[in-house]
């Protein structure tokens, strides 16, 4: 038991106790630009400026703390009820400020830099993310959980994703390679290289990305280039979760092995084109499609 001999000692002790509590509440994490973001206490009003960021905050266990999202933030279902402040490329700054966020989750290559800089100049903490590996997805969830004070739920989800990917890696480590073209967009025709996270899904499943060596992360290509590469399987997303019309164009080219063998596969885009835990579900589906292609040999 502590005994204080004077009121001054009581005041000093109380001050030290308050300072210790304040320090204990501070949370910090380094974002994907290398910036150290520190908050006096865990965030309670979070703005997520991309659909992927919205999913990741929910995965971190902090969905109830999200007060602002952008268009196409459609997962989980609860995200549809959160106030939208525009798109990831053009947000309503005034509306965002009215919501008084104490943490903004930015997208390194998706949000215009000048918009994120404007938010920082207004005094908002901006934590920018861009996971480009499976491990980075887990690590991002953990960092968001740290900033939101939801470590127990967030770290558990990060481990679930990490373990699921490890199981797929073990399962497909010795799988026969399948030459793959993944179509990420239609007009202009676009794909991904091996550095892109979707490229890593292709490798995970034993696929060989026929455009993996291209320099750009999301390169533009021509139909003639696809014909020349002659992939054994073509996988595509589309404009919507059930719209496979992007694949119909390849039915016109029977000289491509993928077309000749009926290896034209649709993958719901949100399962592989957002760097979130749902990539585990998308990767399993991707691997199943390549198994189907192997079975047709």
pLDDT tens-digit map of 229-287? 999 999 998 766 566 788 999 999 999 999 999 999 999 988 999 999 999 999 999 99
Band the pLDDT of 129: cuts 50, 70, 90. Answer: very high
Q: Give residue 73's pLDDT.
A: 95
* Cα R_g (the chain), whole angstroms: 23
The helix/strand/coil state of 8 is helix
Percent helix, strand, coil in the chain (nearest 5)?
A: 45, 15, 40
CA nearest neighbour of 85 among 131, 119, 40, 37: 119
Q: What is the pLDDT of residue 4?
A: 36
Q: Taking the mean position of all CA atoms in its chain, how far away is CA 94?
A: 26
Question: 272 phi and psi, to 5 degrees?
Answer: -130, -15
Domains of the chain, CATH where assigned: 26-159 (3.40.50.1980), 174-295 (3.40.50.1980)
The mean pLDDT value for 20-33 works out to 77
Q: Considering all CA atoms of the chain, what is the largest pairwise distance in Å, rounded to the nearest integer? A: 93
Region 215-220 average pLDDT: 95
Q: What is the mean pLDDT of residues 118-136?
A: 96
Pinpoint the alpha helices (H) of the chain: 7-25, 51-59, 93-98, 113-121, 134-148, 151-172, 197-204, 223-229, 257-260, 279-295
Own/partner long-range contacts of 283-289 (Cβ < 8 Å, ≥24 apart): 283/165, 283/168, 283/201, 283/204, 283/205, 284/168, 286/201, 286/202, 286/204, 286/205, 286/207, 286/235, 287/168, 287/171, 287/172, 287/204, 287/205, 287/206, 289/233, 289/235, 289/263, 289/265
pLDDT at residue 16 in the model: 44
**Residue 116 CB: number of other CB atoms within 10 A?**
20
Residue 1: pLDDT band with limits 50, 70, 90: very low
Cα 109 from Cα 26, distance rounded (Å) = 28
The Cβ of residue 217 has, within 10 Å, a number of other Cβ atoms equal to: 15
Q: What's the pTM value of the predicted model, to 2 decimals?
A: 0.87
155-164, long-range: CB < 8 A, 24+ apart:
157/59, 157/60, 157/61, 157/277, 158/59, 160/277, 161/134, 161/137, 161/277, 161/279, 161/280, 162/134, 162/135, 162/138, 164/280
Of how many residues is the chain composed?
Answer: 297
């Amino acid at each position: 038991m502590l005994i204080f001999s004077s009121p001054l000692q009581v005041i000093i002790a109380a001050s030290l106790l308050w300072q210790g509590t304040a320090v204990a509440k501070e949370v910090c994490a380094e974002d994907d630009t290398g910036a150290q973001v520190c908050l006096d206490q865990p965030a309670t009003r979070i703005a997520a400026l991309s659909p992927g960021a919205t999913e990741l905050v929910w995965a971190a266990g902090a969905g109830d703390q999200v007060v602002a999202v952008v268009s196409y933030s459609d997962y989980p279902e609860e995200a549809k009820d959160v106030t939208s402040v525009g798109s990831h490329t053009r947000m309503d700054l005034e509306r965002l400020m009215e919501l008084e966020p104490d943490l903004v989750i930015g997208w390194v290559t998706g949000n215009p830099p000048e918009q994120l800089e404007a938010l920082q100049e207004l005094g908002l903490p901006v934590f920018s993310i861009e996971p480009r590996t499976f491990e980075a997805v887990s690590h991002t969830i953990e960092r968001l959980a740290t900033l939101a004070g939801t470590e127990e739920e967030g770290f558990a989800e990060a481990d679930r994703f990490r373990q699921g990917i490890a199981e797929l890696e073990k399962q497909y480590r010795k799988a026969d390679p399948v030459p793959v073209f993944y179509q990420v967009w239609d007009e202009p025709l676009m794909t991904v290289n091996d550095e892109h996270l979707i490229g890593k899904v292709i490798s995970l499943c034993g696929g060989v990305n026929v455009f993996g060596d291209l320099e750009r992360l999301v390169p533009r290509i021509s139909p003639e280039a696809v014909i020349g590469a002659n992939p054994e399987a073509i996988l595509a997303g589309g404009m919507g979760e059930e719209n496979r019309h992007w694949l119909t164009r390849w039915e016109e080219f029977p000289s491509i092995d993928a077309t000749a063998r009926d290896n034209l596969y649709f993958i719901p885009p949100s399962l592989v084109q957002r760097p979130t835990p749902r990539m585990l579900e998308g990767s399993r589906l991707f691997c199943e499609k390549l198994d189907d292609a192997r079975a047709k040999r």
